[in-house]
């Protein structure tokens, strides 16, 4: 697939992110990559679900593996909370080693090895990354992904609708709805009006929550 030019940037909480130059779009909020991921996907999705619904094992589907930050934080959460996670993710444009090896998400040697292991685990088949965290990466788009799995949750982490409107379309959101088991949830940093209407049209109950890092709102969709 196409190689896009990526530039390493440092966000306001000190954590790295990437800028995709052709879209002029960053992989995370300028206000804090790590803080945003921790809030939108770990706190408002994984932690919320683990507290309210199910202790595990939990199956996660992610739209856009990118830097691996969400998988990295989820693996850390699994270790901290002694929870088993099965993490599936799609990514049509994998980040290359010369870039991901520079990412500063891990402070200790162990954490840096974890991030590298997530990137180097190969494609299309399950890998045990730690005793509590398994990973399957699919080198494809959400549009082309086919699976019949009943996921507990979806981390919807695509580029913004203003940059990649097609990823947020109703067909994709219906696919997400079908991928979830009853009671399953989806979160995203985006709270755009058309997206929320599409999410409701796909069958989700739409919850608008306080946003991360200076953003007014974020969204959680629930499959009731
Ligand atoms: C906002 S970035 C976030 C990535 C990642 N979750 C992270 O924390 O670094 C969006 C990601 O979605 C990927 N992407 C682009 N088009 C996609 C598509 N059609 N389906 C799934 N992912 C896509 C991009 O390559 C990019 O890695």
User: Could you state, in order of their start, the residue ranges of all structural domains in the chain?
Assistant: 33-222
Q: What is the pLDDT along the chain (224 residues), one digit of tens a residue?
A: 567 899 999 999 999 999 999 999 999 999 999 999 999 999 999 999 999 987 779 999 999 999 999 999 999 999 999 999 999 999 999 999 999 999 999 999 999 999 999 999 999 999 999 999 999 999 999 999 987 779 999 999 999 999 999 999 999 999 999 999 999 999 999 999 999 999 999 999 999 999 998 889 999 999 99
Handedness of CA 5, 32, 28, 128 (dihedral sign): positive
Q: Is the CB of 91 under 6 A from ligand 1?
A: yes
| Predicted local distance difference test score (pLDDT) of residue 124 | 94
Can you give the pLDDT at residue 2? Answer: 61
CB atoms within 10 A of CB 142: 24
The half-sphere exposure of 205 on its side-chain side, counting CA atoms within 13 A, is 8
Q: Say whether 119 sits in a helix, a strand or coil.
A: helix
| Nearest CA residue ID for atom 10, ligand 1 | 158
pLDDT of residue 54: 72
Using a 6 Å cutoff on CB, does residue 152 contact ligand 1? no
Rounded to an integer, what distance in angstroms lies between the CA atom of residue 15 and that of residue 5? 20
- Residue 155: in which H helix or E strand, if any? strand 151-156
For 24-41, give one letter per residue: b (16+ CB within 10 A) or e.
eebbbbeebbbbbbbbbb
Q: Nearest 5°: CA angle at 143, between 158 and 221?
A: 55
Q: What pLDDT shows up at residue 192?
A: 96
Are residues 134 and 126 in contact, defined by beta-carbon separation less than 8 angstroms?
A: yes
The ligand 1 atom nearest the CA atom of 155: 6
Pocket test for ligand 1, best of 18, 37, 158 (most atoms within 8 A of CB): 158
Whether residue 13 contacts residue 35, with contact meaning beta carbons closer than 8 Å, is answered with: yes
Where does 33-222 sit in CATH, by number? 3.40.50.150
Nearest Cα to 219, choosing from 199, 189, 198? 189
Q: Is 66 in the pocket of ligand 1 (CB under 6 A)?
A: yes
CA of 55 to the centre of ligand 1 (A): 28
143 lines ligand 1 (CB under 6 A): yes
Whether the CB of 92 sits within 6 Å of ligand 1: yes
Burial (CB < 10 A; 0-12, 13-18, 19+), residue 96, is: exposed
Spacing, Cα 184 to ligand 1 middle (Å): 21
Query: How far apart are the C-alpha atoms of 24 and 22, rounded to whole Å?
Result: 6
How many Cβ atoms are within 10 Å of 127's Cβ, its own excluded? 15
C-beta 63 within 6 A of ligand 1: yes
Beta carbon of 67 within 6 Å of any ligand 1 atom = yes
pLDDT at position 16 is 98
């Amino acid at each position: 697939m196409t190689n896009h030019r990526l530039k390493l940037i440092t966000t306001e909480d000190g954590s790295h992110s990437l800028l995709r130059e052709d879209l002029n779009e960053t992989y995370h909020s300028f206000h804090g990559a790590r803080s945003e991921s921790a809030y939108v996907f770990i706190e408002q999705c994984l932690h919320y679900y683990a507290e309210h619904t199910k202790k595990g094992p939990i199956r996660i589907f992610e739209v856009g593996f990118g830097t691996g930050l969400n998988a990295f934080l989820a693996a850390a959460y699994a270790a901290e909370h002694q929870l088993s996670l099965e993490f599936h993710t799609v990514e049509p444009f994998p980040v290359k080693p010369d870039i991901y090896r520079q990412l500063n998400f891990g402070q200790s040697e162990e954490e840096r090895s974890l991030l590298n292991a997530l990137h180097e685990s190969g494609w299309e088949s399950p890998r045990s990354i730690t005793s509590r965290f398994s990973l399957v990466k699919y080198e494809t788009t959400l549009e082309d992904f086919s699976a019949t799995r009943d996921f507990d949750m979806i981390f919807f982490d695509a580029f913004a609708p203003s940059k990649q409107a097609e990823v947020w379309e109703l067909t994709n959101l219906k696919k997400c709805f079908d991928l979830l088991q009853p009671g399953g949830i989806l979160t995203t940093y985006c709270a755009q009006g058309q997206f929320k209407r599409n999410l409701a049209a796909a069958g989700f109950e739409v919850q608008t929550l306080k946003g991360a890092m200076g953003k007014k709102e974020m969204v959680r969709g629930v499959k009731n």
